[in-house]
Structure formats: C-alpha cells, structure tokens
Amino acid sequence: MDNRHKIGLRPRPGIGLAGGVAHEFAYPKAPAPAPKRPSVMQAPVLVLNATFEPINVTAVRRALVLMLKGVAQAEETNHAEVHSTSKAIQVPSVIRLVSYRHIPQQSRALSRKNILLRDRNTCQFCGSGFPASELTLDHVMPRSRGGRSSWENLVACCYTCNNRKGDRTPEEAGLKLQRRPRPFTLHTSRQLMRLIGHRDEKWRKYLFY
C-alpha cells in the first residue's frame, strides 16, 4: 500500500494515470473574455430636417448633444437609456432638427472618414469589407504622376492591395476597381441611409416614401 495512505494523507492531485501513462493535473482555464459590444453611444441615429426629410446619419453621442442644446428633438427612441446625474434620457433612433437647414448639393467634406463611408468600408480593389482601422486611402492615379487628392481619385483600400498596387495605376498592377469613385453627394448619403435603414425598422417610414 502507498505510504501516503498508511499515514492518512490524500493522494497528490498533481499526478494521475490515464491509459497507464502518468500526466500532470491541468488546472481549468479561465473563460475567454466575452467580445466587447459596440458602445450604445456610437450607434447610428437618423437625422431629419425640420421638414422630416432625411439629411444625415450621426452617432448617439452627437444626437444627444443636439437634443440637449435644443437644436433637435427625438422622433423615435430605442429601449436603452443613458443616465446623467439628474435624469435618464432614452437613446434616440431618429431625431429631427427644430429649425429648417438648407443642405447644399455637395455637403460632405473630403476626408478619410467620408471616403470610407462612401465606399462602405470596402476595399475598392478586392471587394472585401474591413474595420476602418484596417483600411487606408489609395490614389487611383499615383500622386507621383500628378494624381490629386480628390473624390474622383481617392478610394478605400486594404493594406494588402495597397502594397500590391504600390506607385502604379490599377491596370499596371493587375487590379480592377470595384466601382468608379464619385463625389459624396446628398444622393449618396440617402443610399447609405437606406442600407442602414434595413437594420432599424424605425427608420423606414422616413426613408421609403
């Protein structure tokens, strides 16, 4: 008999037998952390003009600022709430500007954020979607050849395609554009609003009329 049994000690749990082969005791692994959910403050909110015309998409954080300033009011809300020291506010899904705002035909500034929004976070060469942090901007006609930083010459591009293209045209690199880059117009904005609207039925009555 094992000497440890004779003197009343428990067998050591660190060693066991499985199929005649000794193996070490394995401590249970800590559960993997749950994936982070997107912050409710970054959720999209549809912005309507005072005439109920859809004009933009913003984040909850910005929508709440407009509401607190009295610039906009909520037309549709979600079940979630945000709390301040004095009150709770329902998270808006659709807001409407209190005063009418004239929207020029070309209302979007040329920026990385707006290029990615126009191209729907999709590489315009391979057609794959990526998080914004995994995309860069590519000059279709390289700057070394006189290519300008414009709506018509900038596209969203993944790093793999960007490295493959290098300082060449798409044709020289054996790449093909998914679609011709165009300026971000109000029409483009409404197309994107409709795409997002399919995920939030509260938007639909304002977008599909």
Residue of higher predicted confidence among 61 and 204:
61
**Residue that the structure tokens 């549809």 belong to:** 46
Q: pTM score > 0.85 for this model?
A: no
Residue of higher predicted confidence among 58 and 187:
58
Kindly list the domain boundaries of the chain, sorted by start residue. Answer: 40-103+185-207, 112-173
Of 17-21, 111-115, 153-157, 194-198, which gets the smallest average pLDDT?
17-21
Residue of higher predicted confidence among 61 and 107:
61
Q: What is the pLDDT of residue 122?
A: 93
Residue of higher predicted confidence among 96 and 208:
96
Residue type, 188: T
Could you tell me which CATH number the domain at 112-173 has? Answer: 1.10.30.50
> What is the rounded average pLDDT for all residues in the chain?
80
Residue of higher predicted confidence among 32 and 85:
85
Q: Which of 107, 93, 98 is nearest to 51 (CA)?
A: 98
Return the beta strands (E) in 3-153 as ranges.
15-18, 21-24, 44-48, 54-59, 72-83, 88-97, 135-139
